[in-house]
Chain A
Amino acid sequence: MEEAIKYMAEITAAPLMYGRRIQKETGRRVVGYVCSYTPEEIIIAAGAHPLRLFGPMGELECVDTHLQSYCCSVVRGILETGLKGDADFLAGMVFPHTCDSIQRLSDLWRINVTHGFHLDLVLPVKLNTDSARKYYLDVLRRFRMELGKKLGVDIGDEALRKAYETLREIRRLLAGIYELRSANPTLLSGDDLLTIVKAAMIMDRREASDLLQRVATGLKAKIEAHKSLPESVNSSPPQEKEIKRLVLAGGICNHPRLHGMIEAAGGAVVWDDMCTGARYFQTAGPGIESDGSTAAGKGDTMAAIAERYLNREVCPAKHNGLTSRAEAIISLVREKQARGVILLHLKFCDPHAFDYPYLKNALDRENIPHLMLEIEDPLPAEGQLRTRFEAFLEMF
């Protein structure tokens, strides 16, 4: 298990290098994407490899002549990747429509990055009406057709069903690992858990599935080993009882040591509502029977893919009711027996920043302690962060 995690950490540290390698070694075309609303199933079914871009942190060389400084670091970083030519091995890029910044990122990539194809998935913004649901499915169908054209392949139903099942398995494995760790937070560090989820967005998905299986088996073995200890040493490690269980909510976590700092301060994130976390695997998606029918009735795989997105918690750039995010976070806190919430915001991320006061009030009403942390690039000094976590956790 440790080996698998180490391998995934290497990949997450250098996703572009991995993408380049996949392209070179397997000859498969690599398709980059920018957000968890990308239907990876369709890319895989086209025989290509979906690779999520996160963007580099720190000093950027090329982006300043295209994007203002008041744009978030993720969007600036991804554009930098394109402008510098670091993604020149990509067969193309996919841009799902979410926030205003990603929307313009798509334009700027199309205008300035000449290699590879460029596809937009102009998803609906509201997801809770019949016409929006219908339009969602139309957008996916167009994407399937356009991607097939760009790659010169026919994306068949059987390939799509297989890809769907592969991803469904990954999502189930990730959810399982989250469950195991939520029950025993010391089993696996939060930073490792983040690595695992991110790796699943980067790696060959079959390989990812195997590795996740190994991690899940490893975690179960650890639990068994602990159970088989004599009674006196059993009853979970002493520190486990004192761990302050937390839920993390926000967009993208680009801080590789964030969880370590929370854990050093006596806390542990036992579940999240993050784009780089549970939203990636949340709801495995309806199962598809061999006759092509889904839990939602007789339908095709495309309908199942759409349904998963429509049932998943939303990114706040999308609308699914006025209070759905607050309700979801509060019920996560209850369900996972967490004691507090950390809201992790990326500076200049408008959708999350607009939600903050209402989430704050909702959490206050429920007497759930919370901490809002705005992450800038460059990252704040670790000492400063640790002090904030310590002060927050002392409140409990």
Chain B
Amino acid sequence: MATNIDKEKRKIKSVKKMKEIMTLYYIDAKTAADNGKKVAWITSGGPVEPLIAMDIIPVYPENHGAMIGAAKMGVDLCEKAEAMGYAGDLCSYARSDISCATVNGGPIGGLPRPDLLVCGNNICGTVLKWYEIQARYFDVPLFIFDTPFCHTAFHPEMRRYVRTQIDEYIVFLESATGKKLDRDRMVEVGRLSVEGQRLWQAVLDTTINKPAPMSAFDAFFHLALIVTLRGTRQAVDYYQELLAEMNQRVRDGIGAVPRESYRLLWDNLPIWYRTKWLSDKFAAHDACLVADTYTSAWCGSLRYMDENDFLTSMAEGYTRIYLNIGVDEMARMVGEMVDKYDVDGLVMHSNRSCKPYSFGQYDIRKIVEDGKGIPSLIIEADMCDERNFSESQIEMRIEAFIEMLKQKDGQ
């Protein structure tokens, strides 16, 4: 009985609200055509604010990919894509989405048909190929928001190129919808976007507290709005409530795990079909994943954003996001997170589906281990394709890693 009360106490109440918002959002998106609204498919790191300002419903195939993974429908859809000729080594989000479009499968019966596509390549080169495929399949216009990779610097010519594309993007949207962008509305959306990102950062920062009121597994869930509804009042309101709830939990001393002995940092995308398993596994060892590099990517470039000149500042903000920078810069940011969240160990998901996120992890690991003196664990898996998850091997690795933490603790 006591355990049940304990469990109930630990439940995050905002979850229900989030589920309602997301359900309504998908109903809205799926009935867009009936309501005379346009639908744009956009990448997770894409510039969504002009879409919101123009009343175009943004739909995120990557969010859909995460839902497919969480619903454990990834393998089936990936296999369908492989039957279409896509190699099994390709991104499992892309494979799932590409085959899903042809069969309207998955947990919500497929995404609404896009009227236009917006591809921001700040997260990977995969999205370029993926969106080319969908542009051919749906025969709709594609806008490529090309954000040059910042290995070591963001050069003036990069800024010019990206800034020019923002104007081109608006022209593209105006011609696709046949209406003009309302500049005042754009300013408002820009402000809401920055406010939403600040709130999201504040929510994530509540885990600086000990015990952490939420874990990275909770962040994976609550992330959905900052990705899909960034720039809306709804997202701002929601994160205000979530922040209030987290602050209350901090005051009440409620932690995400019952006994928080080890604080860990997660790197890379979640393993969607095993989040609960992993969360339980770590919690059983009194370990809490208090922060991650993934969900913080949606507020990580806030320092480049200027809410008073959003369109101009978004050139830099969207270009200098976590995945569009060099490995050494990523390692530096991971190191900062280790200090900020007072982390005891690093857990890296070597994700076969995400090469730009995973290649470089071994070096980041070494830099952080050497610089911060903390141990690390690498989990070989895939975010959506369960065939690349070996439970017994991963279980063994987690046990060995916890042993290492314990030994270090005992010293």
Cβ contacts under 8 Å, A66 to chain B: 362-363
CB under 8 Å from chain B, chain A span 311-357? 316-317, 319, 322-323, 345, 347-348, 350-351, 353-357
Quick one: which of B85, B164, B352 contacts A131, CB cutoff 8 A?
A: B164
Binary A-proximity of B158-180 (CB < 8 A = 1, otherwise 0): 10110011001000000000000
Q: Assess whether A68 is in contact with B358, with CB atoms less than 8 Å apart.
A: yes
Q: Assess whether B126 is in contact with A100, with CB atoms less than 8 Å apart.
A: yes
CB under 8 Å from chain B, chain A span 64-109? 65-68, 70-71, 97, 99-101, 103-108
Cβ of B103 under 8 Å from chain A? no
Cβ contacts under 8 Å, A350 to chain B: 89-91, 125-126, 129, 355
Cβ of A135 under 8 Å from chain B? yes
Q: Assess whether B363 is in contact with A100, with CB atoms less than 8 Å apart.
A: no
**A104-B327, A108-B359 known; A122 vs B146 contact (CB < 8 Å):** no
Cβ of B133 under 8 Å from chain A? yes
Q: Which of A107, A126, A345, A351 has the most CB of B within 10 A?
A: A107
Cβ of A371 under 8 Å from chain B? no
Q: Assess whether B136 is in contact with A323, with CB atoms less than 8 Å apart.
A: yes
Cβ contacts under 8 Å, B356 to chain A: 100, 103-104
Binary B-proximity of A161-189 (CB < 8 A = 1, otherwise 0): 00000000000000000000000000000
Cβ of A390 under 8 Å from chain B? no
Docked complex Cα distance between A134 and B168 (Å): 14
Q: Assess whether B86 is in contact with A354, with CB atoms less than 8 Å apart.
A: yes
Docked complex Cα distance between A138 and B164 (Å): 14
Cβ of A219 under 8 Å from chain B? no
Cβ contacts under 8 Å, A99 to chain B: 125
Cβ of A214 under 8 Å from chain B? no
Cβ contacts under 8 Å, A101 to chain B: 355, 359
- Closest A residue to B155 by beta carbon equals A142
Binary B-proximity of A42-81 (CB < 8 A = 1, otherwise 0): 0000000000000000000000011110110000000000
**A107-B328, A122-B148 known; A316 vs B129 contact (CB < 8 Å):** yes
Q: Assess whether B355 is in contact with A104, with CB atoms less than 8 Å apart.
A: yes
Q: Assess whether A351 is in contact with B155, with CB atoms less than 8 Å apart.
A: no
Closest chain B CB from A83 CB (angstroms): 11
CB under 8 Å from chain B, chain A span 7-63? none
Cβ of B241 under 8 Å from chain A? no
Docked complex Cα distance between A195 and B211 (Å): 64
**A110-B328, A135-B157 known; A319 vs B86 contact (CB < 8 Å):** no
Q: Assess whether B359 is in contact with A104, with CB atoms less than 8 Å apart.
A: yes
**A110-B326, A111-B328, A356-B85 known; A125 vs B359 contact (CB < 8 Å):** no
Quick one: which of A68, A111, A138 contacts B359, CB cutoff 8 A?
A: A68
Cβ contacts under 8 Å, A120 to chain B: 149, 151-152
Cβ of B181 under 8 Å from chain A? no
Cβ of B144 under 8 Å from chain A? yes
Cβ contacts under 8 Å, A345 to chain B: 87
CB under 8 Å from chain A, chain B span 129-144? 129-130, 132-133, 135-136, 142, 144
Q: Assess whether B135 is in contact with A322, with CB atoms less than 8 Å apart.
A: yes
Cβ of A124 under 8 Å from chain B? yes
Docked complex Cα distance between A47 and B177 (Å): 53
- Closest B residue to A345 by beta carbon equals B87
CB under 8 Å from chain A, chain B span 61-112? 84-87, 89-91, 94
Q: Assess whether A319 is in contact with B327, with CB atoms less than 8 Å apart.
A: no
Cβ contacts under 8 Å, A348 to chain B: 89
Cβ of B12 under 8 Å from chain A? no
Cβ contacts under 8 Å, A67 to chain B: 359, 362
Closest chain A CB from B130 CB (angstroms): 7
A interface residues, Cβ below 8 angstroms from B: 65-68, 70-71, 97, 99-101, 103-108, 110-112, 120, 122-126, 129, 131-132, 134-135, 138-139, 142, 316-317, 319, 322-323, 345, 347-348, 350-351, 353-358, 360, 372, 374
B interface residues, Cβ below 8 angstroms from A: 84-87, 89-91, 94, 121, 124-126, 128-130, 132-133, 135-136, 142, 144, 146, 148-152, 155, 157-158, 160-161, 164-165, 168, 326-328, 350, 352, 355-356, 358-363
A-B contact pairs, 15 of them (CB 8 A): A68-B362, A71-B355, A107-B327, A108-B327, A124-B146, A125-B146, A129-B168, A131-B161, A135-B158, A317-B128, A345-B87, A350-B90, A351-B125, A353-B90, A354-B90
Query: Given A71-B355, A354-B126, A356-B85, 17 other A-B contacts at CB below 8 A?
Result: A67-B359, A68-B352, A71-B359, A101-B355, A103-B151, A104-B356, A110-B326, A124-B161, A125-B128, A131-B168, A135-B160, A142-B155, A350-B89, A351-B125, A353-B86, A353-B87, A354-B90
